[in-house]
A and B are shown apart, each in its own frame.
Chain A
Amino acid sequence: MDSHIEELLPFYTLDALTNEERELVEGYLAEHPEARARVQELQSGASALPYAVSPVEPPGQVKDALIRRVTADAQARQRTEARVPTKPSRGGLWLEDLFRVLSLGAATVAILWAFALNGQIARLQEQVASLNDQVTAQSESLDELIRNLPQTGESDIISVSLKSTETQPRALGQLIADPNDQSAMLVISGLPPLEPGQTYQVWLIGNAPVSAGLLTVDENGQSVLIITSEEAIGSFNSVGISIEPEGGSMEPTGEIVVLSEL
């Protein structure tokens, strides 16, 4: 039994440790089942604390505002899904790598989007076909897919290569957006899955950072995120990704793993 770490356990259950202390405790708990049992006991006391506060009935406009925000987001998701091909052309091969399907779908959305805006139908369809062949026939990794995302030339669509920071040099990504629109697609790879209690959070940065959503990567460190913003994407100067506590933060507080100018 490590008496120093044991002293931290009550504060671990109260979620009042520094990041370093929390990592220390979690490493200890992973190796000491008897300590996990003690934490569980303390946790049953700590988990009662939120209930000590009297409930306060919120005004109706808070729920109304939330529902408006959620409805707009749900509609944006539906529009996105409607653009993604639903019937795979090569059956079983697609099921073998779900992420590859998402990546291809996302790339297709980006291309269809550009198609609707600038009429470059033929050229973009060639790019779709090219990506399709690359993904399905060659089983390439997402890194490869990102490197082959369409470059949109003279169209209004921008495709920004995301730059990793020194803390995660393997991170590689692309942000595809119409600067005048309020949504964008972010494709990322090379980010390691995080410990429980942590999440990646995407930020659009103008005068101040604005949360653009939480990012969960798969076991290969890959993810696709459709970003919706209250402001046009072009009104922001930069995009970044940081590591935050579970549920995200109101502003970046943790390690910055990706930061690029738009």
Chain B
Amino acid sequence: MKRLRNFRTGGLLIAGEPVRLTEQARNAYLPAIAVVPLRQHAGAPARCVVRPGDRVEEGQLLGRGEGRASADVHSPVPGLVRRVSRVRLAGGVECDAVEVALSGSFSRLGKPPRLTPWRSMQRHEIVRAIRDRGLVRASDGIPLAEALSAFEDGSPCELIVVTALTGEPRNPVEVQVLSERRENVLEGFEMLCRVLAPLSAFAVFDDADASVALAWDGVKGSEGPPIQAFTVPRMFPQHLPGRIDAALLEARVTTSTTRSFFIAPSLLAEVYEAVAEEKPSLERCVLVAGGAVKTPAILKARIGTSIGALFEECGGFRHTPQRIVLDGALEGRVCPDLDIPITKTTAMVLALTAEETRTRPERACVRCGVCVQACPEGLDPMRLHKLYGKGLFQDMRAEGLGECTLCGACAYACPSRIPLAQCFATAMKRPPEETR
């Protein structure tokens, strides 16, 4: 097992211990009404195929994915379709959602799974199974089947990287999946190897999880290459593919032309369920944490459960939360209310106290340079912000705006509380030909 160096410049040591959990992941209560958004992926919303009053089975198709980066949506619970309503998702995005009132009996939950003999399946059959079950990559919302098809153009995938690193350095979900559902993850990995036929496979861990890394080092399934485990220092943003690529490149285990595929352990477990158990994407392991939560926990929640229900199940709030945030305190999105439903890409919900957000008034830049020191891409956020203030978006691109990953390390460190990442996100949305 080798230790990699992931940051040449920049990076942050995020204060705080990983979230201490008192128990293993447990099932959350089923929602009485599941609000299932038709857009749980990066592309266009799925086309609704049910009508109010329809009776749906657990796992029945609710929406058909159409176009690029769009995925099928299935009913997480059996019941009656109440209506199709507008919901607001985290970050202020709105989309249609199918409301399913829970009733009737489950066809899968609580019953032993019927296993499909997948080892006799062809490559394209596995990809089709993944597509039909609506699997979506949580990190960017791209449907997994679409991400896999990128390697069909004759330049095969050479390397699978299983990454247990998350955008929230304190989120233990991925590591927990790796240790608790070892068999499923490994079988999912074998399925992926059948599809991609990689030459090698790596698994990347945080230094703090070295014991799990050790347990996975050298593991070889009946299909695919043996897994080689690596650890990286605990620095934010260690999870970005660019950082992992750079670390692997520096360790000379890859070259700059290596075609690699990054996948999270939880998605591997979902691949196993989708292919072997024919189970669509119906639930997510969600970390419920933050200083305001009474007892942080990992809950296995059905899609469409409201985040408020999850907080309630964790004992409610110990302190008044100042912000409710989805998917990480550094890169996540803010929730306007507690009715926001869990989707396929939800990794965690956080209720942050004022002590954690530490909001202060924004002040002028004093050129202290901590943002420059924090930037993992070696950019100069100070200068970018100055250009932003003048509206010189073209000059910002010349200064490397395109390399910014919006990780937020600069804004996290800025003593003047300048919302640097937000400014850069706004500037990126400007059309390239615009100069002011």
Q: Does chain A bind chain B?
A: no
* B interface with A by C-beta (< 8 Å): none
